[in-house]
């Protein structure tokens, strides 16, 4: 129930608050909830809404989407190896 309420507020805040506030909230959600896939969806929605179309090589959408997914995977890896979460998340050693 907490996750559903957090998701509803997160997606409402995408349209009401600046992008950096929503990004901070979604990063906090990464460490509060397990498998927080809403981070990927909210980051892509933020990119689509607030990005400025530039004609540079690194501003292509595929690089931004890949960066979002890599950040998510790195945060999940980091979460598994933080001492505070050792007992909560089962993983293979």
pLDDT digits (tens, 9 = 90+) for 45-58: 988 888 877 777 66
pLDDT digits (tens, 9 = 90+) for 1-29: 888 999 999 999 999 999 899 989 998 88
How much is the pTM?
A: 0.72
Domain boundaries, the chain: 2-85
Name the burial class of residue 76, with classes exposed (0-12), middle (13-18) and buried (19+) by CB atoms within 10 angstroms of its CB: middle
């Amino acid at each position: 129930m907490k996750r559903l309420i957090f998701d509803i507020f997160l997606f409402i805040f995408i349209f009401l608050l600046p992008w950096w506030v929503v990004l901070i909230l979604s990063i906090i959600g990464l460490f509060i909830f397990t498998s927080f896939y809403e981070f990927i969806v909210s980051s892509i929605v933020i990119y689509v809404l607030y990005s400025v179309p530039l004609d540079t090589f690194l501003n292509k959408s595929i690089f931004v989407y890949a960066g979002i997914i890599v950040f998510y995977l790195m945060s999940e890896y980091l979460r598994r190896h933080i001492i505070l979460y050792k007992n909560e998340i089962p993983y293979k050693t």
